[in-house]
Each structure stands twice: as structure tokens, then as C-alpha cells.
């Protein structure tokens, strides 16, 4: 009876909390009754970014007086800052005005997370120069692989009507150090470069500028012929070169701090230099030459594969770009996905990292969860991002991590950069799932400082977004930190990859067959299940993809006894009875992983229900509903994958594990319209 009364009290208490729709993200700064004492010390203290910094602190700082100081001698900080102070006074110094803004947000983060601010001596230099969000937003306001509603950009209202969310978006990015954005899809519509749309882009750039967020655009390589009236878009055609130079000049007249272009070319049907017998360097360099007088850059995506299926899909980007190493201009950066296939739940790192010794490279993550349950599954991605950043390529000896290659530590680059495919839409909570906000936050924090731990990032985000109550903080943090591994377990453990349903990539469909489809768009190409075993042989007896990795990784990955078990089926076709390190067979281990993932999600449901009274009822119910969906989906994944592969393994699911709840033939009939899945 006492437990019932206590539970009822907690339920009523949660109802008494102010309802939240999630629109404030992690920016729930304390409101002050009296304005804070904030002064600006510089010759020119009337700068938009400085004004924002001063206003944020004036409105929300509850501590000692603060001085914001511009010191051009601190240019080694780039757009970073120094914070020094004691109980009496704090000074924030920076070489650039936007550095003062980042410093202001640092102070507010310390305040909101309960840090000790009595004796501060902080120096922050960002890990990467360009910390950029890639929006896959179309001009009709749909979002490719976006799961939080339609695009933020109201093109029909621009440039004359500005939604207040544009400023809120810029503010959120600035608060975590994101300083750039590509607002349109890599499958770019050429119309984005017309005068009509450039005026709209300018209006957005003007809103973003005070928050230090520079505008970039994805461009369609065929734009000169599609909207420019030229006969072709051949990068060797002087008329095409002239068209791009004139277009770039027009852009910079409208947007003086324009950053440059992002290009997807000769991939998945997009036009590119190959259409004219040219190579990627020819295409990228033409655009780079047009941008160079304005200090603009070209981010040229390495996500390419030939339309005629042939070699191992995981090897194609390496085979196309490594022969061109050294041929790209110094304002071209090759944008490389973290893995060699396509943002799978877990992949080994792309072998392109480290292989391009004379060409700048940058890392591309996917924040939106195209392959990780969309906005329905709670999956905290900081551990995934960290695994990629910390991966040792051995390209320059031991310790040649992807982070150190791309940040300029090991390879000098004119500009360093890192990108994340945005998970932002017009939903009130921005990301479709309250916990998906943490992935936007995590990307920004790691782009600023990749040495931060996943635990520290989760801790900050929970305190700022929900509460610092230990009975909420610790179990929810543990849930977040284990959630990526949990998702890998119930989706594709042990190196299985790309066994999703056709087109939408939400649910399992390892049996999928579409007549006429390219083999490498279908699951069988990747799992290769037969009565002997399953997995993709990428060793010297197979595609020899392992040869693209530096020693000793090529030997480690190529040996079935030394390859990390998390990548076992990525690199090897393994017999069902192969003995794993725990002494169990590969088949039994496969069953254990799927069962464990399912059980872990059930535990998350229990955790969330136990801590629900610390959260307002609106957000509590939303997350509770999402976890219910995730739990059902984990069962769906386990049953579909194990029952399907069991038709090949012909082995029983270990008897001490929970039995499948569905029949395989019934699961094969599911044709999900993900837009209506809830």
C-alpha cells in the first residue's frame, strides 16, 4: 500500500512539472532577476557576435562580473577563447569576436551543469576549422533521410518573412561550436543557384552570421547546362569554367562570408565529371579555382561507386580517389564517410583515411539515424563517433588516428573540417525524439573537441536538457552510453551489414530481392548466407579489400582468428559452427547478440518508467511511447533475422533464450510505410 501511495505521489508530481515540447533543446538557461554585469573591452565593441555574447550573459549569468575582451595577439586560438577568473571577476578573451560568443556559452554550460567556477583557467582551441552540418533538405521542403518533419526552410516565404526558428537554429549551433551549414541536399536541385533562390539563401545567411554560422551550398554539377543554357557542363569547357566563376562572384556579392560548395558527383545517378570523360580532380579543381579568390572551399564527397556493378562496393571509393592523390587543389577537401559502405550501424573505418597523403580529407558522420531506427529508437551516437575518430589507421605508424589525420596534426591541410548529416526538422522538438537532440549536441561538442568522452557529453546534455538529480542522471546516462551497442546487437551484430528493408532502411529484410536491382543494393550481396555459413569474404581469397588497410591491420582483419569479432562477418565468410573466443559457435553467438539487444531495450523501458517523475509529463510520455516502439522493433529484428538465417544454418536457437514471437512467412509480408509507423 505504501508503495502504491508513493508511486501515485511521484506520478502526480510529474504532472505538476511544467509541460515541455522540447523546443528549448539544451538551452534551458537560468533566468536572472537582475541583469548580470557584463562589459566589453575592445576598440570596436559593436560587433554582432559580441552583442549576442553580451546579451546571453546579461540575460542568464548568475555569477560574478564578466569582461569580454578582444585580443588579436591570441590568433593561435583560431576562433577559440581563454577564460580566466576567480570569485570576483572573469575575463573571456579571444582573437575573433565569435570566440567571445563561444566563451560565453562555455560559461553558461559550466553554470547549468553545476561546475566549480571559483577559479577558472581555460583555453579552448577547436579541433577543426570548419564544423559543419549537412542538411539533406530539398526545395519542396522534404528531407532525404530526415525523420523530424519537413524542412525548417520556408522557401515560399523567404526572403521577406523570417521564421524565428532560423535564429533559434543558429543559436543552438553556436552554443556547441558548430560554425557552418549546408542547407540543401547533396542531391542538389540546380535551382538553388538561380537569382531567386540566392536571395533567399542570403536572407538565411544574414540571420546566421551573428552566431558565427557560415553558409555553404550543395551544387549540382550539371548546373551550367541545366540553368545556364550552356551546351554541356564539361569542366574542361572554358565557357563552363567562366559560368562557375561568374556564379561564384555573384554569390559573394550577396554573401561576403560564403563558405563554398559541397558536391556529390557521379554517385547514385548524380551528374559529374565522368559524364565527359574527366575525373574527380578535374571537376573539383574547376570549382576550387572559382572559389579560390574568395577563400572558399570545395567539399567533394568520396561516396561514389560505379553504376555498373563489379568490384566490392567497400573498395570502390579507395580505387577511385587514391590514384588521384596529389592532383586536387589545396582548397579541395575530400569528404569521406566514417565507413566504406554507407553509415551502417557499425562499420570498420574507411580505408581512404590515411591513404590520401597529398590530399586534404574530412570525416562525414550521419547524425540522423537513417540506419539506426530513425527518430523512433533511442541511440546515442557519441560512442559511434568516438570509435571512428579514435580508430588507428597505422598510416604513419601507430597512433595515426583518423582524428589526427583530419585535424592537421599528421598531415598539414590549408583548412580542416568535419561534417555531420543533420537530424533537424520542423518538429517542435527539432529532432523527432527528445533523445535524438543529444546526437546534434554530441556532434557539435566532438567537432569542437574530439578528446571529450562520450560520458562527459552525455552528462552535460542530461543536466542541461532534463535535470542534474543523481537518481535520474546516472541511470539515464548509462542507458544512453550503452544504447548504440544495444542497437547494433538487435540489428546487425558481428559485422553484418546492409540487411535492411528496401528503400526506407527502417526494418529488417535480409531476404529482399528486387528484380533488376543492382546486386549491391540488395542484402544478399552483403550477407552471402548459405548452408556453410555467412559473411562477406574481403580477405585475399575474396575481394581482397583488406589490402587497402595499412599493416598490421590488413593482416589482423584478414585473419579470421585475429579480426575483432565486431567485424567478423564484415571481412569473413564464417562457418556456422566456427568457434568464437567465448567457446560458443558463431550461430549461437549470433542468437545471443540479438537476444541481448532485445532484452536491453526492455531494460530501458523499465529505467525510463522508474525515473519518469523527474520529467514533465509531456516529454515523459513521448519517450515512453518511443521506447515501446523500439522494443517492438527489437523483437521484429531478432525474429526476422534469426528465423531467416536459421533456414541456412539449420541449427536451433539456444534453448535457454526466449523463443521467436513471429513466423518468418508473416514477417516477409510486412511492407512498411515508415511515415506512418508509430
User: CATH number for the domain including 53?
Assistant: 3.30.379.10
Average pLDDT, integer, range 555-562: 98
Average pLDDT, integer, range 239-263: 98
pLDDT tens sequence across 585-626: 999 999 999 999 999 999 999 999 999 999 999 999 999 999
The C-alpha atoms of residue 404 and residue 416 are separated, in whole angstroms, by 11
Residue with cell 570525416: 363
Residue 492 near residue 500 (C-beta atoms within 8 A): no
Say whether both 116 and 216 belong to one domain: no
Residue 262 has pLDDT above 60, yes or no: yes
The C-alpha atoms of residue 506 and residue 633 are separated, in whole angstroms, by 9
pLDDT tens sequence across 118-163: 999 999 999 999 999 999 999 999 999 999 999 999 999 999 999 9
- Distance of CA 114 to CAs 51, 441, 674, Å? 26, 18, 41
The C-alpha atoms of residue 195 and residue 493 are separated, in whole angstroms, by 49
pLDDT for position 656:
95
The C-alpha atoms of residue 190 and residue 223 are separated, in whole angstroms, by 5
pLDDT for position 307:
65
Q: What is the CATH number of the domain that holds 582?
A: 3.90.1330.10
Average pLDDT, integer, range 54-66: 96
Q: Give the length of the chain.
A: 678
The C-alpha atoms of residue 68 and residue 53 are separated, in whole angstroms, by 9
* pLDDT tier, 30 (very low <50, low <70, confident <90, very high otherwise): confident
Residue 284 near residue 329 (C-beta atoms within 8 A): yes
Domain assignment present for residue 280? The answer is yes
Cis peptide before 411 (omega within 30 of 0): no
Domain assignment present for residue 550? The answer is no
Domain assignment present for residue 17? The answer is no
pLDDT for position 311:
84
Among 223, 146, 212, which Cα is nearest to 185's? Answer: 146
pLDDT tens sequence across 351-367: 999 999 999 999 999 99
Say whether both 223 and 349 belong to one domain: yes
Residue 606 near residue 573 (C-beta atoms within 8 A): no
Per-residue cell: 671: 511492407
* pLDDT tier, 677 (very low <50, low <70, confident <90, very high otherwise): very low
Domain assignment present for residue 289? The answer is yes
The C-alpha atoms of residue 42 and residue 568 are separated, in whole angstroms, by 58
- Distance of CA 131 to CAs 181, 220, 454, 644, Å? 8, 22, 18, 42
Say whether both 648 and 499 belong to one domain: yes
Say whether both 353 and 228 belong to one domain: yes
The C-alpha atoms of residue 411 and residue 409 are separated, in whole angstroms, by 6
Average per-residue pLDDT for the chain: 95
Residue 217 near residue 184 (C-beta atoms within 8 A): yes
Domain assignment present for residue 6? The answer is no
The C-alpha atoms of residue 601 and residue 378 are separated, in whole angstroms, by 9
Among 408, 426, 444, 20, which Cα is nearest to 211's? Answer: 444
pLDDT tens sequence across 69-97: 999 999 999 999 999 999 999 999 999 99
Rg of the chain over all Cα atoms, to the nearest angstrom: 26
What residues make up the domain containing 87? Answer: 28-124
Q: Is 268 labeled as catalytic in the residue annotation?
A: yes
Say whether both 119 and 136 belong to one domain: no
pLDDT for position 19:
83
Domain assignment present for residue 510? The answer is yes
pLDDT tens sequence across 480-509: 999 999 999 999 999 999 999 988 999 999
Among 424, 2, 483, which Cα is nearest to 183's? Answer: 424
Annotated active-site residue in 268, 468, 577, 666 = 268
Domain assignment present for residue 614? The answer is yes
Domain edge (last residue) among 452, 476, 500? 452
The C-alpha atoms of residue 26 and residue 437 are separated, in whole angstroms, by 8
The C-alpha atoms of residue 502 and residue 522 are separated, in whole angstroms, by 8
Q: Is 671 exposed, middle or buried (0-12, 13-18, 19+ CB in 10 A)?
A: exposed
First-to-final CA distance of the chain: 35
Q: Is 523 exposed, middle or buried (0-12, 13-18, 19+ CB in 10 A)?
A: buried
Say whether both 120 and 134 belong to one domain: no
Percent of the chain exceeding pLDDT 70 equals 96
Residue 13 has pLDDT above 90, yes or no: no
Look at 15-19, 479-483, 571-575 and tell me which has the smallest mean pLDDT. 15-19
Average pLDDT, integer, range 648-658: 97
pLDDT for position 160:
97
Residue 475 near residue 607 (C-beta atoms within 8 A): yes
The C-alpha atoms of residue 462 and residue 460 are separated, in whole angstroms, by 6
The C-alpha atoms of residue 301 and residue 317 are separated, in whole angstroms, by 10
pLDDT for position 607:
98
Cis peptide before 202 (omega within 30 of 0): no
pLDDT for position 32:
72
* 626-632 LR contacts (CB < 8 Å, sep 24+): 626/375, 626/376, 626/377, 626/378, 626/433, 626/435, 627/378, 627/601, 629/376, 629/377, 629/677, 629/678, 630/373, 630/376, 630/377, 630/378, 630/601, 630/604, 631/598, 631/601, 631/602, 631/605
Annotated active-site residue in 71, 342, 392, 426 = 342
Say which residues have a Cβ less than 8 Å from residue 619's Cβ, sequence separation at least 6.
Answer: 20, 22, 434
Residue 259 near residue 223 (C-beta atoms within 8 A): no
Residue 8 has pLDDT above 90, yes or no: no
pLDDT for position 310:
73
Say whether both 100 and 143 belong to one domain: no
Say whether both 179 and 225 belong to one domain: yes
Look at 10-19, 168-177, 359-368 and tell me which has the smallest mean pLDDT. 10-19
Phi-psi region of 110 (alpha: psi -120 to 50; beta: other; left: phi over 0): alpha
Number of domains in the chain: 3
Mapped onto helix, strand or coil, the DSSP state of residue 337 is strand
Say whether both 250 and 292 belong to one domain: yes
pLDDT for position 6:
44
* pLDDT tier, 43 (very low <50, low <70, confident <90, very high otherwise): low
Average pLDDT, integer, range 556-585: 98
Among 416, 272, 421, which Cα is nearest to 342's? Answer: 421
Say whether both 184 and 239 belong to one domain: yes
Domain assignment present for residue 541? The answer is no
Per-residue cell: 242: 567562366
Among 28, 13, 477, which Cα is nearest to 469's? Answer: 477
Q: Reduce the secondary structure of 7-66 to three states and give it as a string.
A: HHHHHHHHHHCCCCCCCCCCCCCCCCCCCCCEEEECCCCCCHHHHHHHHHHHHHCCCCCE
Domain edge (last residue) among 397, 423, 452? 452
Annotated active-site residue in 124, 137, 364, 370 = 370
Residue 181 near residue 208 (C-beta atoms within 8 A): yes
Domain edge (last residue) among 68, 91, 124? 124
Residue 9 has pLDDT above 70, yes or no: no
Among 426, 422, 419, 420, which Cα is nearest to 166's? Answer: 426
pTM of the shown model: 0.96
Residue 673 has pLDDT above 90, yes or no: no
Say whether both 153 and 42 belong to one domain: no
Q: What is the CATH number of the domain that holds 333?
A: 3.20.20.80
pLDDT for position 515:
93
Say whether both 43 and 175 belong to one domain: no
Q: Is 370 labeled as catalytic in the residue annotation?
A: yes
Among 271, 184, 289, which Cα is nearest to 233's? Answer: 271
Secondary structure letter of residue 153 according to DSSP: -
Amino acid at each position: 500500500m505504501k508503495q502504491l501511495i508513493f508511486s501515485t505521489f511521484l506520478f502526480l508530481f510529474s504532472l505538476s512539472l511544467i509541460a515541455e515540447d522540447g523546443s528549448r533543446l539544451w538551452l534551458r538557461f537560468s533566468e536572472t532577476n537582475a541583469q548580470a554585469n557584463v562589459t566589453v573591452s575592445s576598440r570596436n565593441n559593436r560587433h554582432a557576435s559580441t552583442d549576442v555574447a553580451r546579451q546571453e550573459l546579461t540575460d542568464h549569468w548568475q555569477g560574478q562580473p564578466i569582461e569580454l575582451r578582444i585580443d588579436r595577439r591570441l590568433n593561435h586560438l583560431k576562433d577559440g577563447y581563454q577564460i580566466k577568473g576567480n570569485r570576483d571577476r572573469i575575463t573571456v578573451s579571444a582573437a575573433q569576436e565569435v570566440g567571445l560568443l563561444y566563451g560565453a556559452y562555455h560559461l553558461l554550460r559550466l553554470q547549468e551543469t553545476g561546475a566549480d567556477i571559483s577559479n577558472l583557467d581555460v583555453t579552448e582551441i577547436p579541433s577543426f576549422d570548419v564544423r559543419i552540418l549537412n542538411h539533406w533538405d530539398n526545395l519542396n521542403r522534404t528531407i532525404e533521410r530526415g525523420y523530424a518533419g519537413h524542412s525548417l526552410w520556408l522557401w515560399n516565404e523567404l526572403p521577406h518573412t523570417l521564421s524565428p526558428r532560423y535564429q533559434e537554429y543558429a543559436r543552438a549551433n553556436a552554443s556547441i561550436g558548430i560554425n557552418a551549414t549546408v542547407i540543401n541536399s547533396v542531391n542538389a536541385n540546380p535551382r538553388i543557384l538561380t537569382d531567386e533562390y540566392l536571395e533567399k539563401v542570403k536572407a538565411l545567411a544574414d540571420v546566421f552570421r551573428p552566431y558565427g554560422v557560415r553558409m555553404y551550398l550543395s551544387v549540382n554539377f550539371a548546373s551550367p547546362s541545366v540553368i545556364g543554357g550552356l551546351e554541356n557542363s564539361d569542366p574542361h569547357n572554358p565557357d563552363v569554367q567562366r559560368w562557375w566563376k561568374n556564379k561564384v562572384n555573384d554569390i559573394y556579392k550577396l554573401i561576403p562570408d560564403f563558405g563554398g560548395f559541397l558536391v556529390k558527383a557521379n554517385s547514385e545517378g548524380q551528374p559529374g565529371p565522368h559524364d565527359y570523360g574527366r575525373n574527380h580532380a578535374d571537376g573539383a579543381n574547376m570549382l576550387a579555382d572559382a572559389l579560390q579568390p574568395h577563400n572558399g572551399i570545395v567539399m567533394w564527397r568520396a561516396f561514389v561507386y560505379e553504376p555498373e556493378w563489379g568490384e566490392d562496393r567497400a573498395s570502390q571509393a579507395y580505387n577511385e580517389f587514391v590514384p588521384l592523390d596529389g592532383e586536387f587543389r589545396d582548397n579541395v577537401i575530400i569528404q569521406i564517410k566514417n565507413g566504406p559502405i554507407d553509415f551502417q550501424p557499425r562499420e570498420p573505418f574507411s580505408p581512404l583515411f590515411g591513404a590520401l597523403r597529398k590530399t586534404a580529407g574530412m570525416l562525414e558522420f550521419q547524425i540522423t539515424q537513417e540506419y539506426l531506427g530513425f527518430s523512433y529508437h533511442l541511440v546515442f551516437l557519441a560512442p559511434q563517433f568516438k570509435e571512428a575518430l579514435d580508430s588507428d589507421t597505422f598510416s604513419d605508424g601507430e597512433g595515426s588516428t583518423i582524428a589526427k589525420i583530419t585535424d592537421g596534426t599528421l598531415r598539414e591541410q590549408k583548412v580542416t573540417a568535419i561534417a555531420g548529416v543533420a537530424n533537424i526538422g520542423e518538429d517542435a522538438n527539432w529532432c523527432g525524439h527528445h533523445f535524438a537532440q543529444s546526437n546534434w549536441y554530441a556532434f557539435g561538442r566532438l567537432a569542437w573537441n574530439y578528446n571529450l568522452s562520450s560520458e562527459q557529453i552525455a552528462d552535460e546534455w542530461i543536466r542541461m536538457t532534463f535535470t542534474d538529480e543523481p537518481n535520474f542522471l546516472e541511470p539515464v546516462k548509462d542507458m544512453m552510453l550503452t544504447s548504440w551497442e544495444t542497437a547494433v546487437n538487435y540489428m546487425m551484430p558481428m559485422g553484418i551489414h546492409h540487411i535492411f528493408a528496401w528503400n526506407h532502411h527502417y526494418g529488417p529484410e535480409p531476404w529482399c530481392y528486387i528484380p533488376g536491382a543492382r546486386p549491391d543494393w540488395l542484402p544478399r550481396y552483403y550477407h552471402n548466407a548459405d548452408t556453410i555459413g555467412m559473411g562477406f569474404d574481403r580477405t585475399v581469397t575474396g575481394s581482397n579489400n583488406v589490402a587497402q588497410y595499412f599493416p598490421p591491420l590488413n593482416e589482423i582483419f584478414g585473419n579470421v582468428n585475429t579480426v575483432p569479432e565486431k567485424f567478423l562477418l564484415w571481412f569473413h565468410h564464417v562457418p556456422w559452427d566456427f568457434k568464437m573466443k567465448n567457446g560458443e559457435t558463431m550461430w549461437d553467438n549470433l542468437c545471443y547478440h540479438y537476444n541481448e539487444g532485445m532484452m536491453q531495450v526492455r531494460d530501458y523501458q523499465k529505467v525510463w518508467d522508474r525515473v519518469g517523475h523527474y520529467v514533465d509529463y509531456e516529454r515523459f510520455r513521448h519517450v515512453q511511447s518511443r521506447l515501446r516502439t523500439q522494443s517492438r522493433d527489437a523483437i521484429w529484428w531478432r525474429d526476422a533475422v534469426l528465423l531467416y538465417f536459421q533456414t541456412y544454418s539449420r541449427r536451433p536457437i539456444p534453448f535457454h533464450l526466449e523463443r521467436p514471437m513471429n513466423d518468418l512467412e508473416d514477417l516477409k509480408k510486412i511492407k512498411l510505410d515508415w511515415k506512418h509507423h508509430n
